[in-house]
Amino acid sequence: MEKTTEKYLAALKKDLARMRIYAHALGILNFDFETCAPRDAKENEGDTISFFSNEYFKIATSKRMKEATVYLNAHKDELCELDRVLVCYLYDDYKKTKNVPPKTQLRWSKLFNKAYIDWYNAKQKADFSLFEESLSNVLEISKEDVSLREDALPDFYDNLLNDCEKGMLTRDLDAFFSELKEGLIGLISKIGASKHVIRTDFLSRKVPIYKQEQFSNYLLELNGYDMNKGYLTTTEHPFTSNISENDARVTTHYYEDMFLSNVYSVIHEGGHAIFMQNEPREDFEHFINDHVTNGMHESVSRFYENVIGRSEAYIHLIYPKLRELFSEELGDVSERELYEAVNVVTPSLIRTEADEVTYGLHIVIRYEMEKMICSGEISIKDVPKKWNELYKQYLFVEPKNDSEGVLQDVHWSGNFGYFPSYALGNAYNAMYLKKIKSDMDFEGAIRRGDFGAINAWMRENVFRYANVKEPKDWLKTLTGRSLTAKDFIEYLTDKYSKIYNF
């Protein structure tokens, strides 16, 4: 390595180390903002977050960082593989932010924080009008952001999709969602024609929250989540926060009369956290940790939640503990009845509560909505009306209010383009499910509770290259194939034909 290259790399990593400290502090502040901060304190806390976010941004866009990034990008051949990956990430960020002044970033940050507060208040009051202005601001910020980028993609929405899932654009997703939608509609039709009746009366029984909390901790530890490097608490919309190398926090939301909501929220968010806790050590050393795309992350969280968590083997594994903790509430429920109930297929309003089969249509709706919003085909004020129309068209249900409709998800208070990641995650994990089954006795390991073996396979195959490769290359390396919805439809068909006897 030339001395000049060595000098720039050392200076770059010194600034990245400072940025990591700011990022750590921001992670704690943001976690507090979305969990335990008093409602009346959120505006002040949001201002503090905006301040530190702006200080972080100033370092990231400083003259010294820009010079180092541009120089090192031109001399990548002198760097080791992981440092080349780092410089590629930084150069992409440089092209996106080089024309964004710190004062503009500060304004955006404050508007995003206000959007979260407005979304939260609007959801509590089931009144979209309280969020309408902020949603308009989010859209305008996104447009302004893209307009300032060097080498922005021609299509506005493609830029937002590419931010969330590198290399996956509308041309890819239109084909993918067309294949997915066709397969799901056909499968839902077969399930609807089945005469098999699944018992669900016990799903709405009241289960004390303190018992649910005990079960949540049991599930997280069972699946391999390291409680010495994590923390579980509650929030309005569950999320996982990657605060630092040894701090991956999980949140959930408890409902006394919907105990399964928490069960699968915890397993899902725990999947994200297990991914975070198992990133390769060298990725942290080279500052490329936490560059996993949203689709990769969702593939893992939904793998634990559904492929594992709703499997017959997993229900067999956790059934004794469930009977022990919930003997009064669920003592009359058999293991088979529980398995069928956690997999019952019923078109519903709430995405996070949806079954595996109809879930994909919730994402189809959001993808189509985002395309219409970003193209200007519909105005912001007409978003609730269009949302309700699509739910009636695809799922034959209609929201009674905005809270169970367009306000149910937090995502649009921060960006557009994330939602397709959930469907991509399902497709990714259905593809690597075939590989794990060929490499080990996967169902046997679940039945035995051998998550040491399962998580070791995930580390070696799924987690290992996630920070290094773009989604298409990562998927090709992992499965040897390109993206398809076919494996996911086959997985669902095989599973649900046995449950519904068709």
Catalytic residue among 269, 298, 305, 356: 269
Do 224 and 280 fall within a single domain? yes
In a domain, 350, yes or no: yes
Do 224 and 294 fall within a single domain? yes
| 221 flagged as catalytic | no
Do 358 and 237 fall within a single domain? yes
pLDDT > 90 fraction of the chain, expressed in percent and rounded: 99
Do 192 and 280 fall within a single domain? yes
In a domain, 458, yes or no: yes
pLDDT at position 1, please?
Answer: 80
Whether residue 176 contacts residue 488, with contact meaning beta carbons closer than 8 Å, is answered with: no
| Tens of pLDDT, residues 352-383 | 999 999 999 999 999 999 999 999 999 999 99
Q: Which of 65, 74, 57, 46 is nearest to 22 (CA)?
A: 57
Do 424 and 486 fall within a single domain? yes
Final residue before a domain boundary, out of 152, 178, 199 = 152
User: Residue 250 belongs to a domain with what CATH number?
Assistant: 1.10.1370.30
d(CA 354, CA 345) in angstroms, rounded, equals: 8
Final residue before a domain boundary, out of 88, 123, 152 = 152
Q: In which residue ranges of the chain is pLDDT below 70?
A: none
Q: Which domain holds residue 445?
A: 170-500
Question: Phi/psi zone of residue 376: left (φ > 0), alpha (ψ -120 to 50 degrees), beta?
Answer: left
Do 361 and 448 fall within a single domain? yes
- Domains identified in the chain, total number: 2
Do 175 and 62 fall within a single domain? no
In a domain, 164, yes or no: no
CB atoms within 10 A of CB 50: 20
Do 13 and 50 fall within a single domain? yes
Do 175 and 316 fall within a single domain? yes
Final residue before a domain boundary, out of 123, 152, 181 = 152
Do 345 and 414 fall within a single domain? yes
d(CA 85, CA 487) in angstroms, rounded, equals: 30
pTM for the full predicted model: 0.94
DSSP state string for 204-253: GS---HHHHHHHHHHHHHHTT--GGGEEEEE-SS--EEEEETTEEEEEE-
Packing angle, helices 102-125 and 129-147, rounded to 10: 150
In a domain, 157, yes or no: no
